[in-house]
């Protein structure tokens, strides 16, 4: 542990925002009671959905694996409590679309019986790094700062790229959100142990903890926790309180002075970033053997009775949390998942909390400041605040004109969707939504391009096949004609012999026809083969009916 006030390299742009943090900070983290039903989406992370490992009717224990990772870019899911699997079904999930996705529905039995697979480790720092990474993966840990990227995969890329510094993101820069802050105040020692475990898993010793300089009590607590260890290579660095100080690119720049290249990752410049919530989850998983089954969620906003931080089991519906926080102050409210700058609206409070959800923000229509959108006046304020150093007003121009080629020339994909431009725009243009719209359109065009390329290939293949068939028929016709012309007269005179010849020719023709029979069953992908098999089965069933 060394002194703070290390050298920093402030990032470009950003804004000072009213924090609204004290509302939710004063109280301790409250544990949430068991809901009637837990709804656990199979995809709560970046990557492929997990594969269910249970079936309806199964009895499960707390912490038991209920869905396993389906690839390296995926994460397993564990039962947040003991109970019975009611169904594996489609349910609306926490997503801006509000669409259905496959979920496991668990009915708690209130026994809270732990699975016997849960094994604590008395000496986490003596475990081999490789084993640590595996354990972190099988505990279902994903980045809890909001991105929900599988932590094990991040660690492995760190190893591959020989990174030398671990950066811990404790700069909770968005207004209202205090879940990381609350966690530091109450469990700083555990977070430090989590950091030590991560360092060992990465085979490195250097760590920088970035924290906003206005989070004084949290800084104090972390410092104390650090003095209790004999770590000298874990340093606390205070960053100016300026949104978005906690953006990954901004934090890395502030702490190291190095810029993450466009389209690049922190590991490209030798660092790896993890959030303090993730460190705590790692501590829980390794020290106590407890997989990721809950997280701290900030519930706040002007439309809420009293703001607080809750420790919530995944799968708990939002409305239970709201109830515990004193309910809505009036009946017309808006719900935002995440903070006011980067969050997205949802229109139901039945949706379940998932791994990536750090904050529920409740807006109230009575405080609504309705703003009508005006045309862009080219004032350039958005340019001055954009931490990605891009030109929002030009991106906006191309996005609304749907010029998706040109918009990429202006580095659309460097936009981190921080919302600063939106915030300062005097014309109240919802710039970020335009940028999300443009990004989504470009991604979907890429997907469609892939699909149409495949369609073209199959179409060309089919045309070739038809052409070949035509040629084969032509060839036969020609041969036959030639044979007829060359046929010796005496043979044709003998009716018996000519009958035999005709029969031979028929057989031969049949054979050659068989050779060029249309075959759209060659070169099949596994999905197609599976479909043929399923169809065959259905066909058999149809017949036997």
Binding to another protein, residues 446-505 (CB under 8 A): 448-449, 451-456, 458-459, 461-462
Spatial neighbors of 47 by CB under 8 A, at least 6 apart, are 71, 73, 74, 75, 149, 150, 153
Q: Does 388 bind another protein (CB under 8 A)?
A: no
Q: Which is nearer to another protein, 83 or 340 (CB)?
A: 340
In the list ligand SF4, another protein, none, the entry touching 458 (Cβ below 5 to 8 angstroms by class) is another protein
In the list ligand SF4, another protein, none, the entry touching 364 (Cβ below 5 to 8 angstroms by class) is another protein
Q: Which two tokens stand for residue 338?
A: 């995440």
Q: What is the smallest separation between the CB atom of 456 and another protein, expressed in angstroms?
A: 5
Q: Which is nearer to another protein, 101 or 265 (CB)?
A: 101
Spatial neighbors of 385 by CB under 8 A, at least 6 apart, are 13, 14, 15, 420, 421, 423, 424
Q: Which is nearer to another protein, 355 or 439 (CB)?
A: 439
Q: Does 421 bind ligand SF4 (CB under 6 A)?
A: yes
Segment 172 to 191, residues that bind another protein, using CB under 8 A: 175
Residue 201 burial (10 A CB sphere; 0-12, 13-18, 19+): buried
Q: Does 345 bind another protein (CB under 8 A)?
A: yes
Segment 373 to 412, residues that bind ligand SF4, using CB under 6 A: 376-382, 385-388, 390, 392-393, 396
Q: Which is nearer to ligand SF4, 86 or 428 (CB)?
A: 428
- Scanning 5-13, 108-116, 472-480, 520-528 for contacts with another protein by CB under 8 A, the matching segment is 520-528
In the list ligand SF4, another protein, none, the entry touching 396 (Cβ below 5 to 8 angstroms by class) is ligand SF4
Q: Which is nearer to ligand SF4, 77 or 388 (CB)?
A: 388
Q: What is the smallest separation between the CB atom of 168 and ligand SF4, expressed in angstroms?
A: 23
Strands 65-68 and 59-60: unpaired
The Cα 355–Cα 315 span in angstroms is: 9
Site string for another protein, 41-60 (x = CB under 8 A): --x-----------------
Q: Does 302 bind another protein (CB under 8 A)?
A: yes
- List Cα–Cα distances, 185 to 23, 189, 435, 447, in angstroms: 15, 10, 37, 45
Q: What is the smallest separation between the CB atom of 260 and ligand SF4, expressed in angstroms?
A: 14
Q: What is the smallest separation between the CB atom of 496 and ligand SF4, expressed in angstroms?
A: 56
Spatial neighbors of 26 by CB under 8 A, at least 6 apart, are none
Q: Count residues near ligand SF4 (CB under 6 A).
A: 30
Q: Which is nearer to another protein, 130 or 457 (CB)?
A: 457
Q: What is the smallest separation between the CB atom of 213 and ligand SF4, expressed in angstroms?
A: 22
Q: Does 425 bind ligand SF4 (CB under 6 A)?
A: yes
* CB of 82 closer than 8 Å to CB of 60: yes
Interacting residue with another protein among 58, 334, 349, 414 (CB under 8 A) = 334
CA dihedral for 492, 495, 501, 503, sign (positive or negative): positive
- Going across the sheet that includes 51-52, the strands are 51-52, 65-68, 77-78
* CB of 109 closer than 8 Å to CB of 61: no
The CB density around residue 371, as the number of other CB atoms within 10 Å, is 11
Q: Does 262 bind another protein (CB under 8 A)?
A: no
Segment 349 to 378, residues that bind ligand SF4, using CB under 6 A: 376-378
Spatial neighbors of 398 by CB under 8 A, at least 6 apart, are 404, 406, 407, 410, 438
Interacting residue with another protein among 73, 483, 513, 532 (CB under 8 A) = 532
In the list ligand SF4, another protein, none, the entry touching 386 (Cβ below 5 to 8 angstroms by class) is ligand SF4
Q: Does 417 bind ligand SF4 (CB under 6 A)?
A: yes
Q: Which two tokens stand for residue 138?
A: 């099988």
The Cα 335–Cα 328 span in angstroms is: 11
In the list ligand SF4, another protein, none, the entry touching 110 (Cβ below 5 to 8 angstroms by class) is none
- List Cα–Cα distances, 528 to 286, 465, 541, in angstroms: 43, 19, 20
Q: Does 250 bind ligand SF4 (CB under 6 A)?
A: no
Q: Does 535 bind another protein (CB under 8 A)?
A: yes
Q: Which is nearer to ligand SF4, 452 or 498 (CB)?
A: 452
CA 288: distance to chain centroid? 26
Q: Which two tokens stand for residue 313?
A: 């089991």
The Cα 453–Cα 499 span in angstroms is: 52
Segment 253 to 312, residues that bind ligand SF4, using CB under 6 A: none
The Cα 36–Cα 524 span in angstroms is: 47
Q: What is the smallest separation between the CB atom of 365 and another protein, expressed in angstroms?
A: 5
Q: Which H or E run includes 180?
A: helix 179-202
- Scanning 209-217, 312-320, 367-375, 376-384 for contacts with another protein by CB under 8 A, the matching segment is 367-375
In the list another protein, ligand SF4, none, the entry touching 31 (Cβ below 5 to 8 angstroms by class) is none
Q: 3-state DSSP call for residue 410?
A: coil
Q: What is the smallest separation between the CB atom of 340 and ligand SF4, expressed in angstroms?
A: 13
Q: Which is nearer to ligand SF4, 212 or 417 (CB)?
A: 417
The conformation of residue 305, written as its DSSP 8-state character, comes to S
Q: What is the DSSP string of 13-69?
A: --B------HHHHSSPPEEPPPPS-EEEES--SSSSPPEE---TT-EE-BT-EEEE-
Q: Which two tokens stand for residue 141?
A: 């840990």
Q: Which is nearer to another protein, 110 or 440 (CB)?
A: 440
Interacting residue with another protein among 301, 317, 338, 387 (CB under 8 A) = 301
- List Cα–Cα distances, 124 to 138, 153, 286, 339, 430, in angstroms: 16, 20, 6, 35, 48
The residues that touch ligand SF4, with contacts defined as CB under 6 A, are 376-382, 385-388, 390, 392-393, 396, 415-421, 424-427, 429, 431-432, 435
């Amino acid at each position: 542990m060394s002194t703070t006030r290390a050298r920093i390299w402030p990032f470009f742009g950003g804004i000072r925002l009213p924090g609204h943090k004290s509302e939710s900070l004063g109280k301790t983290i409250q544990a949430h009671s068991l809901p009637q039903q837990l709804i656990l989406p199979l995809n709560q992370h970046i990557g492929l959905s997990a594969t269910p490992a249970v079936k309806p009717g199964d009895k499960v224990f707390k912490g038991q694996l209920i869905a396993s990772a389906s690839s390296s870019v995926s994460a397993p899911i564990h039962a947040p409590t003991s109970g019975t699997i009611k169904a594996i079904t489609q349910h609306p999930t926490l997503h801006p679309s509000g669409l259905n996705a496959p979920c496991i529905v668990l009915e708690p039995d209130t026994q809270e019986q732990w699975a016997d697979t849960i094994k604590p480790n008395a000496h986490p720092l003596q475990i081999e790094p490789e084993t640590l990474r595996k354990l972190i993966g099988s505990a279902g840990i994903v980045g809890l700062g909001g991105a929900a990227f599988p932590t094990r995969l991040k660690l492995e890329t760190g190893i591959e790229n020989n990174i030398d510094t671990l950066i811990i993101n404790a700069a909770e820069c968005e207004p209202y959100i205090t879940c990381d802050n609350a966690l530091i105040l109450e469990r700083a020692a555990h977070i430090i142990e989590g950091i030590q475990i991560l360092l060992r898993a990465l085979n490195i010793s250097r760590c920088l903890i970035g924290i906003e300089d206005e989070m004084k009590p949290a800084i104090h607590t972390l410092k104390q926790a650090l003095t209790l260890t004999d770590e000298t290579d874990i340093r606390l660095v205070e960053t100016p309180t300026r949104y978005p100080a906690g953006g990954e690119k901004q934090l890395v720049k502030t702490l190291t002075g190095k810029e993450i290249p466009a389209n690049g990752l922190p590991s490209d410049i030798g660092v790896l970033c993890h959030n303090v919530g993730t460190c705590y989850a790692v501590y829980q998983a390794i020290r106590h053997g407890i997989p990721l089954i809950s997280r701290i969620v900030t519930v706040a906003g002007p439309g809420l009775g009293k703001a607080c931080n809750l420790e919530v089991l995944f799968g708990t519906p939002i409305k239970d949390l709201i109830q515990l926080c004193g309910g809505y102050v009036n009946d017309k409210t808006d719900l935002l998942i995440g903070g006011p700058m980067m969050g997205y609206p949802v229109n139901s409070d039945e949706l379940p909390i998932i791994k990536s959800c750090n904050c529920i923000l409740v807006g109230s229509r009575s405080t609504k400041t309705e703003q009508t959108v005006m045309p862009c006046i080219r004032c350039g304020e958005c340019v001055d605040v954009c931490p990605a150093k891009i030109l929002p007003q030009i991106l906006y121009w191309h996005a609304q004109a749907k010029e998706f080629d040109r918009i990429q020339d202006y580095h659309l994909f460097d936009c981190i969707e921080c919302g600063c431009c939106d915030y300062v725009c005097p014309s109240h243009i919802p710039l970020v939504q335009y940028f999300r719209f443009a990004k989504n359109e470009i991604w979907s065009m890429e997907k469609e391009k892939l699909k149409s390329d495949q369609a073209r290939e199959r179409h060309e293949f089919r045309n070739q096949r038809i052409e070949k068939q035509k040629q084969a028929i032509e060839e036969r016709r020609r041969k036959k004609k030639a044979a007829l012309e060359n046929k010796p007269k005496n043979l044709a005179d003998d009716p018996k012999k000519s009958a035999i010849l005709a029969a031979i020719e028929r057989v031969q023709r049949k054979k050659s026809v068989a050779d060029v029979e249309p075959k759209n069953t060659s070169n099949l992908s596994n999905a197609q083969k599976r479909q043929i098999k399923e169809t065959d089965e259905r066909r058999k069933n149809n017949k036997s009916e």
